[in-house]
Chains A and B, each alone.
Chain A
Amino acid sequence: MDLNSLTIHALSEKLSKKEVSSVEATKAYLERIGVVDARIKAFLIVTADEALKQAEEADKRRAQNNNVTPLTGVPVSVKDIFCTKGIRTTCASKILAGFVPPYDSTVVARLKDAGAVILGKNNMDEFAMGSSTENSAFQKTANPWALDRVPGGSSGGSAASVAALECAASVGTDTGGSIRQPAALCGVVGLKPTYGRVSRFGMIAFASSLDQAGPFTRDTKDSAIMLKAMAGFDPKDSTSIDVPVPDYLSEIEKGVAGLKIGIPKEYFIEGMDAEVESSVREALKILEKEGAELVDVSLPHTEYAVAVYYLVATAEASSNLARYDGVKYGLRVNESGNLLDMYKKTRDRGFGGEVKRRIMLGTYSLSAGYYDAYYKKASEVRTLIKNDFETAFKTCDVIVTPTSPTPAFRFGEKVADPLTMYLSDIFTISCNLAGIPGISIPCGFTKENLPIGLQILGKSLDESTVLRAARAYERASGASLKAPAL
């Protein structure tokens, strides 16, 4: 049991001291999954055999001291949005029935190269569309802190798997908050890197201009280790950025003395959960005590972010999801031998309600006669939102806000009202629109013992400072490394 609760850096140290083997760690995690996942349902597939083989390889690598990284032998899981060679990839959708990718996504390939052991693939909202993981076509994932509540989404399975100690870390994707919001709701660290920092190759697209992969970990140092392994230019992704990847870990303990922390007035709004607000205010005090200077900043176009997001993201999604037509792979419903009928029935039965809703919204906003008023206007406002951050970052180094306006909500609570559900991402969406990095770290619990998340946003490609600020808070508050009783 002890092995499961270790951070990556702690486990890595034990592995390098030969106090424990990767096979032992992997078995411990597989056992933990066996014990708790019937309740948590964080995994869509557990690849035990492959994991144990990878663990043996990792042990060999460590024994031979051959290309050892901090991740060599560390068991992790990945959201089922990442293509995995030879292992079925569903995106939690029925439409990809039977699809087994002949390639690894770059993220998975890099984790494997680093020697990580892949335990399996995590549940998610279908095609990453949702904020509760309730939109999975296969199962509902429970929040490890309160089994009647959602883990957040769309990377709910990833967040829950880390919180429930079913893996040392997981990788999710964040299009409008899909890493940070579930990290907040599950009490773990979730990092969304700068757009282009991590390759999108082999990561099934929801909204291509917003999607970005990032890690879920138990603490910020693990986040630095994971990001280092995942990040960097990829010739297979034209939108990945060709700049060197810093050694995040070596800079993480520098503290916040002298750092300017911006507090955007638009993010402390009417209707925010009182406990969330007081926790975040408390966190700001701690950061100030650590030597940071708090400054007021303004992000005046924040109120348009959700609207802009649901125009841009759905437009891209309507096009990205056109390839699931029953012709080449995945589900095909062919009852009449008629092409149009096959298209319609395949997509009708293959996609869930939320995916269909977004395809329709996006198709509409791109249509002749509406393009200028919707997609084009949204793209223009997106630029204004980006400019807001650039202006704000002239007077501060990072921006601190709550991650989610509320802690974890109950199953079914928001399903009936998509607009309320969409507001779960109100604090996280702007970051994707601007393409900047953001992290959510645990900052206490509500009276009901539900985790609260603190969001730290940084300048483009400045994950180092984001991690530094996050680490400073984490160290001073001791808020991380709590595990739910399961």
Chain B
Amino acid sequence: MKYESVIGLEVHAQLLTDSKLFCACSTKFGSGPNTQVCPVCLGLPGVLPVLNRRAVEYAVKMALAVDCRVNAKSVFARKNYFYPDLPKGYQISQYTEPLAEHGYLDIDTNGGKRIGITRIHMEEDAGKLLHGEGAEDAGYSFVDLNRAGVPLIEIVSEPDMRSADEAQAYLKSLRDILVYLEICSGNMEEGSFRCDANVSIRLVGAEKLGTKAELKNMNSFKFVKEAIEYEIERQIDVVESGGKVVQETRLFDSAKGITASMRSKEEAHDYRYFPDPDLLPLVVSTGLIEEQRKTLPELPEAKRVRFIKDYSIPAYDAGVLTASKDLANYYEEVVKVTNEPKVSSNWVMGELLRLLKEDGRDVKDCAVAPASIAELVEMIKKGEISGKMAKEVFEAMYKTGKPPKEIVKSKGMAQISNEDELSRIIDEVIAGNPDNFARYKAGRVQLFGFFVGETMKATKGQANPQVINKLLKEKLDK
């Protein structure tokens, strides 16, 4: 590999405050257009912004979670540009003096890597444009300012990532933290968690950074990975064919899987940032910082390490189980009652997650009580049901919320371990297959499996496999 890629991410996370950053309007998603607006977020003449304290607390929380230094004083600045979804003609953001700086995040790829976080700053979101499609609306654009003024934090990484996989891992990790902190929904489709990527390439061993392209419009983790991979290949092709990468903003086209130029450096906006004279510098007291530090929950990485250590489960399991705080909590509840960490992990990570994913549901909505999983594990251990049956029972538990014993009883699914009953069935199976029995006797011992299968079929899978094995051995080999 002659080239290495250099990737930095700029992530916008919408904060889960009830009201907007500079006014009291609701931040609720999905309401009718322009129903959550007031003179302040509409940019009417003469009105003034007043900072939402809760938003500052949330931003500080995130800063602490990724080990940033929270600046005692930060400054809101105006980012000036014209667009119909920007009611004031400027966005209130932070520029030269951000809320927090110098943090990092450890990701779990190839034995782990530390990604630097340059800064975290606060800013307000813009509104949305809807473009008319109907016969009457065609050619018109409509402005919905419900989102205008919703609080965001922008988290800017160092250019520390060297592959799309690392970028994806960083992004996922960042989202997990935000969701753990309960300050962001992390929903990429709804746009409450958005990512732009700065991508460049350079010869392996080179120190100087190559010219970067900024990628936008990647609204899923998959697209982030695809877009970066495409962009790296594209830049290598450009250089290999004797060209030069130009600094520009490129949009990802998810349908085609490519990035395409949106605007060049020359066309880039001059945002004319300057300190917003309507807002005093933001002073964050050590009191506020310590207060927020106290409320920090155990973060995904710490939890992951603890799970590996305390439960002796594989790193992979620990990673999956700690990706969401609710899932991790659920798993711990299950372990508490089963006392079987790995078996519990198999059920939660395997069957439960699969079913939840199929339904698009969250573990919070899960009807399966941890005690039911414990009961199920116990039933398998005692041989009351087979592993295969257990999966069926689990599905029913998931759908109905009923405990496994009740399900097994109502479905008549109990495992047949009764030796007399199975002995009778095996006799019938042998009697029904005289040819194979003869061949087995003649030395074709591989046919043992055939008889197991036939017995299972005859019992509709309810036979206890261990008992079948034992009885078949006795009957075939006698």
- Chain A residues within 8 Å of B, Cβ to Cβ: 81-83, 89, 91, 96, 99, 101-103, 105, 200-205, 207-209, 235-239, 315-316, 318-319, 321-323, 325, 327-329, 337, 339, 343, 363, 366-368, 371, 375
**In the complex, how many angstroms separate the beta carbon of A200 from the nearest chain B beta carbon?**
6
- Contact partner of B46 among A203, A207, A315, A343, CB < 8 A? A203
Cβ B89 vs Cβ A325 within 8 A: yes
For B, the interface residue count at a CB cutoff of 8 angstroms equals 30
Most buried by A among B43, B46, B51: B46
Cβ B278 vs Cβ A323 within 8 A: no
**In the complex, how many angstroms separate the beta carbon of A202 from the nearest chain B beta carbon?**
4
A207 and chain B: residue at smallest CB distance: B277
Is residue B296 within 8 Å, beta carbon to beta carbon, of the partner chain? no
Cβ A235 vs Cβ B277 within 8 A: no
B37-78 residues with Cβ-Cβ distance < 8 A to A are: 39, 42-51, 78
Cβ B45 vs Cβ A323 within 8 A: yes
**In the complex, how many angstroms separate the beta carbon of B130 from the nearest chain A beta carbon?**
14
Of the candidate stretches B80-88, B172-180, B250-258, B384-392, the one touching chain A is B80-88
**In the complex, how many angstroms separate the beta carbon of A405 from the nearest chain B beta carbon?**
28
Cβ A201 vs Cβ B278 within 8 A: no
Cβ A327 vs Cβ B84 within 8 A: yes
Task: Please list the 5 inter-chain residue pairs (A to B) with the smallest Cβ-Cβ separation, ordered nearest first.
Answer: A322-B89, A209-B277, A366-B272, A208-B277, A204-B45
Is residue B90 within 8 Å, beta carbon to beta carbon, of the partner chain? yes
Is residue B230 within 8 Å, beta carbon to beta carbon, of the partner chain? no
Cβ A96 vs Cβ B45 within 8 A: yes
Is residue B305 within 8 Å, beta carbon to beta carbon, of the partner chain? no
> Which B residues are in CB contact (< 8 Å) with A329?
44
- Contact partner of B43 among A91, A96, A323, CB < 8 A? A323
Complex formed: what's the CA distance from A367 to B48 in Å? Answer: 24
Cβ B87 vs Cβ A102 within 8 A: no
Cβ B80 vs Cβ A235 within 8 A: no
B123-149 residues with Cβ-Cβ distance < 8 A to A are: 139, 141, 143
Complex formed: what's the CA distance from A96 to B46 in Å? Answer: 12
- Contact partner of A238 among B39, B48, B272, B273, CB < 8 A? B48
**In the complex, how many angstroms separate the beta carbon of B343 from the nearest chain A beta carbon?**
57
Cβ B90 vs Cβ A322 within 8 A: yes
Cβ B89 vs Cβ A105 within 8 A: no
Is residue B279 within 8 Å, beta carbon to beta carbon, of the partner chain? yes
If over half of A's interface residues share one DSSP class (helix, strand or loop), that class is named, otherwise mixed; here it is: loop
Complex formed: what's the CA distance from A198 to B50 in Å? Answer: 16
Cβ A366 vs Cβ B274 within 8 A: yes
**In the complex, how many angstroms separate the beta carbon of A240 from the nearest chain B beta carbon?**
9
Complex formed: what's the CA distance from A339 to B141 in Å? Answer: 10
> Which A residues are in CB contact (< 8 Å) with B80?
318-319, 322, 366
Cβ A202 vs Cβ B46 within 8 A: yes
**In the complex, how many angstroms separate the beta carbon of B185 from the nearest chain A beta carbon?**
28
If A322-B88, A323-B88, A325-B89 touch, whether A202 touches B82 (CB-CB below 8 Å) is no
**In the complex, how many angstroms separate the beta carbon of A127 from the nearest chain B beta carbon?**
10
If A96-B45, A203-B46 touch, whether A103 touches B274 (CB-CB below 8 Å) is no
Cβ A105 vs Cβ B50 within 8 A: no
Cβ A315 vs Cβ B274 within 8 A: yes
Cβ A200 vs Cβ B48 within 8 A: yes
Is residue B262 within 8 Å, beta carbon to beta carbon, of the partner chain? no
If over half of B's interface residues share one DSSP class (helix, strand or loop), that class is named, otherwise mixed; here it is: loop
Complex formed: what's the CA distance from A223 to B45 in Å? Answer: 27
If A238-B50, A329-B44 touch, whether A323 touches B87 (CB-CB below 8 Å) is yes
> Which A residues are in CB contact (< 8 Å) with B278?
205, 208, 238-239
- Contact partner of A337 among B44, B46, B51, B139, CB < 8 A? B139
> Which B residues are in CB contact (< 8 Å) with A327?
84, 87, 143
Complex formed: what's the CA distance from A105 to B419 in Å? Answer: 90
Complex formed: what's the CA distance from A34 to B47 in Å? Answer: 33
> Which B residues are in CB contact (< 8 Å) with A202?
46-47
- Contact partner of A83 among B45, B139, B141, CB < 8 A? B45
Cβ B48 vs Cβ A83 within 8 A: no
Is residue B270 within 8 Å, beta carbon to beta carbon, of the partner chain? yes
Cβ A201 vs Cβ B272 within 8 A: no
B297-333 residues with Cβ-Cβ distance < 8 A to A are: none
Could you pull out 8 A-B pairs where Cβ atoms are within 8 angstroms? A103-B47, A201-B47, A207-B277, A237-B48, A319-B78, A325-B84, A339-B84, A375-B274
Since A82-B46, A368-B270, A368-B272 are in contact, a sample of 12 more A-B pairs with Cβ atoms closer than 8 Å, ordered by chain A residue number, is A103-B39, A201-B46, A201-B47, A207-B277, A209-B277, A239-B48, A239-B278, A318-B272, A319-B90, A321-B89, A325-B82, A366-B80
Is residue B238 within 8 Å, beta carbon to beta carbon, of the partner chain? no
B5-54 residues with Cβ-Cβ distance < 8 A to A are: 39, 42-51
**In the complex, how many angstroms separate the beta carbon of A269 from the nearest chain B beta carbon?**
30
A105 and chain B: residue at smallest CB distance: B46
Complex formed: what's the CA distance from A200 to B278 in Å? Answer: 9
Complex formed: what's the CA distance from A141 to B89 in Å? Answer: 32
Is residue B246 within 8 Å, beta carbon to beta carbon, of the partner chain? no
Is residue B280 within 8 Å, beta carbon to beta carbon, of the partner chain? yes
Complex formed: what's the CA distance from A323 to B39 in Å? Answer: 12
**In the complex, how many angstroms separate the beta carbon of B87 from the nearest chain A beta carbon?**
6
Complex formed: what's the CA distance from A323 to B80 in Å? Answer: 10
Cβ A319 vs Cβ B51 within 8 A: no
> Which B residues are in CB contact (< 8 Å) with A105?
46
Most buried by A among B42, B272, B278, B280: B272
Cβ B272 vs Cβ A205 within 8 A: no
B270 and chain A: residue at smallest CB distance: A368
**In the complex, how many angstroms separate the beta carbon of B388 from the nearest chain A beta carbon?**
63
Cβ B82 vs Cβ A322 within 8 A: yes
> Which A residues are in CB contact (< 8 Å) with B84?
325, 327, 339
**In the complex, how many angstroms separate the beta carbon of B8 from the nearest chain A beta carbon?**
21
A93 and chain B: residue at smallest CB distance: B45
